[in-house]
Structure 1
Amino acid sequence: VWLNITFFLIFLFFAGSFFGYYDITLPSSIANKSSKAEDAGGIIGIFFMALTLVIVSFSCTGPILGSLLGSSLTGSANIPMLLTYALAGFGFSWAIVFGLLALFPQALQSLPKSGGWMNTVKVVLGFIELGLALKFLSKADLVSKTFFLKRELFIAIWILISIGLVLYLFGKIKFPHDDKNAKISMTRKIIGVLGIGFIVYLVQGLFPSERPKLQYLSGILPPINVSYLHKEDDGILGMHPSHDYFEALEIAKKENKPVLIDFTGYGCENCRKMEEFVWSEPDILPILQNEIILASLYVDDKEALPESEQTSIDMGNGQKKKVKTIGDKWSLFQQINFNNNSQPHYVLISPDGKVINTPVSGYMPKEDFKAFLECGISYFKKGK
């Protein structure tokens, strides 16, 4: 929660810098020392030339790289690979530019000069930073279970941010570093029209419907059940999953149905995509509603367990894991029983606690998820 709130505030700070209200720069003394070290020549001189460039361009690249780090630390992506690709991309792009300029020095004269267009790019990035900041605040809101930032409020704020962006692109509002009499280029007008289209797309999410809307923003927006249009007891797509495996097992015994364990998380983006893209499909939803007992176990639930249930579990190799929260309990339950720690992770269990068929993980096409369900349910009904 606190990490997401911290990045929310940092992204707001980055946005203010992009808008031109202040600059994020490193002390000039660092740049001066690095510049002097360039005289060493050879590889060392090249290194300090590159370092000086990094320091001088920090005000532009800092917010972008900061955004990248924030997304990787609070997201569910593969952090090492994400950072490797992104930072390698930064280095490769710089290398291409300066490599080509070294080979073709005359091209330097034809490069566009910094000025109004560069400031426009920064301001547009500022609006994007505001939108991303809201995503971090939403995650903190969901994990803490305050549910203040509901789906419609999130969409409404994004609409206001998008309106601000469109007005800026058409020259109706200005920021400190904008040219007062600058002409609006065709590129700005085209992006502005696209912005209007995005606003129209977002407006759909403010009205009730039988099927979830704004599916392309699944995982970014709050879940469909965290909404002013749905009561808290409406559940997910009209379903009321149990949040306790053992409770679900007792219900399954009474109704003679298999249990679908849904290892999920409040901050899990692929979980939301599965719910809105796949679960809501007309040939999937009836299966979930009628053929199984759904147990949604949140591995990031920060609510404390009763003291009698708080304990330490020996994980082997002398390592012990403390179980203090509901999320700790179900996360370890998943790791120990299914040797898996990814979400979503789906397991079909018989009422006597046996795994019916091979569990599946991650976001998957509707056909694959349907085959998984039908295979397990058919196998269970045959009494094998």
Structure 2
Amino acid sequence: MRTFLTSLIAGLALLFNTSATYAQDATFVKTSYNVLSDGNVELVFDVQISDGWYMYSATPVKGGPMTANFDLSADTPAQPQGAMVDGTEAHTKFDSAFGLEVYYFEGNGQFRQIITPSAEGNFTVQGTLVYQTCNGEECLINENDITVNVKMAGAEVVEAPKAKKSKDESLLWFLLIAFAAGLGGVITPCVFPMIPMTVGFLIGGAPSKRSGIMKGLVFGLSVVLIYTLLGLIVSLFGSTAATDALGTHWIPNLLFAALFIVFSISFLGAFEITLPSGLANKADRQADKGGYIGAFFVAVAMVIVSFSCTGPFVGSILAAAVVGGVTLKPILGMAVFGAAFSLPFVVCSFFPGMMKKLPKSGGWLNVVKVVFAFVLMAFAVKFLYNVDAYFGWGIITRLGFLAIWITLVVLLGLYFLGVIRTDHDSPVDGIGWGRMLVAIACFSFAFYLIPGLFGAPLKSVSGMIPPMDGSTTVVSAPVGNGETTAPSGYSALKSYNTLDEAMKASEESGKPLFITFKSHTCSVCKVMEATVLNDPTILSRLSSDFVVANLYVDDKTPDAEYKTLGRKFRQYEMEKFGSASQPLYAVIDHTGKILSGPVGNSSVEEFGAFLNF
């Protein structure tokens, strides 16, 4: 009788615990749709979030939390047009767990997803709205199955939404950077000394001033055309998805890193990079014919000869262009770059007297070259980190990354002070105000980066450097089966990512199984691991007395029954422990019997008591 009462009470407790858990995040989702003037359909998800909770938005943050997304079912006769976006403006805050600014909704929010029907007529949309909510103590990954019957016939047509302002601003900034890069290419040692000679060729022998101006225009348009063709080739590589892959795949990142390293070494004076001389010679022979055709081939020769200095600028623009966004980005970027690059030549052909006001060539051009060398090396480290993060090697850690950047910035500051010089530098007879200001800027930036070595978030450069949550981040590979080993602390413990193997290890060792339900994007999970689980006492107990299993509820590894392992773990968590929150910790034996817990966010003392069952 006593055993029966105990079991009854335990069962009721689990039942009430389950009800309470499912009621914790009372998020309500209302779905509607708009038939757009371009034939597409816009799905609108209005969400109401219970008090004390917040929901991460659909705005992606690299290295940040899981963004809300809509998975369209394969049974739906439609195709999604891009990713789901925020329908209302999200709040922003600095999340210390990620060391980043994150976007979130409180109270209510809205998401929008545009889809293109595969056929005419009415159809049914089926899919899953996936989002993450947190309350400071725990996080939940929610999956709401959505079914919407779309009636196309007779529906009120809504004007198709325009591109979001943020995208326009992003493209505008990209084009401004491309324009600045074009002007930067002009003040390199390979190009700047050629301005008088090139302009002299264009206007020399012209029968009239108007003819000289027209030849200058032909030269400028030819330069734009040549660089635009280069952008077109990159753009024709494939679709937007293909350019997205270019931006994240290890091969282009490694190529850009190698390109920048080679050019930086060249800029420091180790060797010269030139295209085959035959190309330049052929262009020169055609340019000698004069006229507008000659102006075109002068432009061709200029592009070829200046490649050793403009190559890094072109590579940088193309590298930025292929990272998602607009398919025409490489074309637009190269056209703007070419326009800025040719602008000084065209202006001087219009007003030849301006050439007298140009600064004379000299040692300052080599200074520009050395500055570019250091900048290129800094960006090469960024591309190498992307390769490292793609494979999850952990070779380029946040600490190492910052150490390299600090070293480069300090060396650049010393260079401007004349402490270090290259073989091609002219002697420095004193430090002018310009050099002093640049040196101050370099050392100030170095001092700003130094606290990052000890855990400071460095928010202003957080998008460029490795995230704070660990030494590295795996950006491509899903969590796989079997054992995993990580750098330090709790994450260094021998652990399992599948329940079956963890239970087998528990049976073989005779140790109880410590289970963690978490997600890669759970901020509370990160805080718990950094504080409680890394406590020396807790860490010692887990290391010596338990078999450890880390079950990621957002694991994308395919599963025959549940589609993904993450769904399988979430279902197990709900059925076994009556909870759907993360983090959740429990201790079971190899048969699945609960020995202690479950518990969620806890203090060190509470967690120690949980382990002392």
Common fold by TM > 0.5: yes
1:246 corresponds to which of 550, 555, 567: 567
In the alignment, is the contact (CA less than 8 A) between 2:267 and 2:370 conserved in 1?
Answer: yes
Name 1:220's counterpart in structure 2.
464
2:279 corresponds to which of 30, 33, 36: 30
Name 1:78's counterpart in structure 2.
325
Name 2:419's counterpart in structure 1.
172
Does 2:431 correspond to 1:184? yes
Name 1:93's counterpart in structure 2.
340
Name 2:259's counterpart in structure 1.
10
**CA shift in 2, pair 1:33/1:183, >3 Å:** farther
**CA shift in 2, pair 1:39/1:9, >3 Å:** closer
Name 2:449's counterpart in structure 1.
202
Alpha-carbon shift at residue 226 of structure 1 (Å): 2.6
Alpha-carbon shift at residue 91 of structure 1 (Å): 1.4
Deviations 1:311-348 (A, max 9, x none): xxxxxxxxxxxxxxxxxxxxxxxxxxxxxxxxxxxxxx
Structure-2 separation of matches of 1:3 and 1:137: 10
In the alignment, is the contact (CA less than 8 A) between 1:21 and 1:176 conserved in 2?
Answer: no
In the alignment, is the contact (CA less than 8 A) between 2:283 and 2:297 conserved in 1?
Answer: yes
Structure-1 separation of matches of 2:434 and 2:409: 17
Which structure has the highest helix share of the two? 1
Alpha-carbon shift at residue 52 of structure 1 (Å): 1.2
Deviations 1:26-55 (A, max 9, x none): 233322211111234443222101111112
Structure-2 separation of matches of 1:252 and 1:217: 40
Does 2:355 correspond to 1:108? yes
Alpha-carbon shift at residue 25 of structure 1 (Å): 1.2
Structure-2 separation of matches of 1:203 and 1:79: 36
**CA shift in 2, pair 1:101/1:158, >3 Å:** same
Q: With structure 1 as the length reference, what TM-score do the two structures score?
A: 0.60
In the alignment, is the contact (CA less than 8 A) between 1:150 and 1:222 conserved in 2?
Answer: yes
What SS is found at the alignment partner of 2:258? helix
Structure-2 separation of matches of 1:169 and 1:248: 57
Within 5 A, what are the aligned runs for 1:345-360? none
Greater Cα offset, 229-238 or 54-63: 229-238
Structure-2 separation of matches of 1:243 and 1:89: 42
Structure-2 separation of matches of 1:185 and 1:252: 69
Q: With structure 2 as the length reference, what TM-score do the two structures score?
A: 0.39
Greater Cα offset, 30-39 or 189-198: 30-39
Q: Which amino acid aligns with 2:459?
A: Q
Structure-2 separation of matches of 1:88 and 1:20: 30
Q: Which amino acid aligns with 2:553?
A: S
What SS is found at the alignment partner of 1:184? coil
Deviations 1:110-163 (A, max 9, x none): 111222111111101100111111111111111111112111111111111111
Deviations 1:190-221 (A, max 9, x none): 1110111111110110113xxx6112222321
Structure-2 separation of matches of 1:198 and 1:252: 49
Structure-1 separation of matches of 2:329 and 2:460: 21
Structure-1 separation of matches of 2:434 and 2:569: 56
Q: Which amino acid aligns with 1:26?
A: L
1:63 corresponds to which of 312, 330, 338: 312
**CA shift in 2, pair 1:108/1:175, >3 Å:** same
Identity %: 35
Unaligned runs of 5+ in 1: 260-288, 291-384
In the alignment, is the contact (CA less than 8 A) between 2:280 and 2:304 conserved in 1?
Answer: yes
**CA shift in 2, pair 1:187/1:84, >3 Å:** farther
Task: Provide the alpha-carbon RMSD of the alignment.
Answer: 2.8
Deviations 1:152-190 (A, max 9, x none): 111111111111111111111011211024543322221
Kindly tell me the number of residue pairs found equivalent between the two proteins: 257
What SS is found at the alignment partner of 2:253? helix
Q: Which amino acid aligns with 1:96?
A: L
In the alignment, is the contact (CA less than 8 A) between 1:151 and 1:227 conserved in 2?
Answer: yes
In the alignment, is the contact (CA less than 8 A) between 1:147 and 1:226 conserved in 2?
Answer: no
What SS is found at the alignment partner of 2:288? helix
Structure-1 separation of matches of 2:578 and 2:363: 68
In the alignment, is the contact (CA less than 8 A) between 2:554 and 2:567 conserved in 1?
Answer: no
Larger radius of gyration: 2
Unaligned runs of 5+ in 2: 1-249, 473-486, 493-519, 527-551, 556-565, 583-599, 602-613
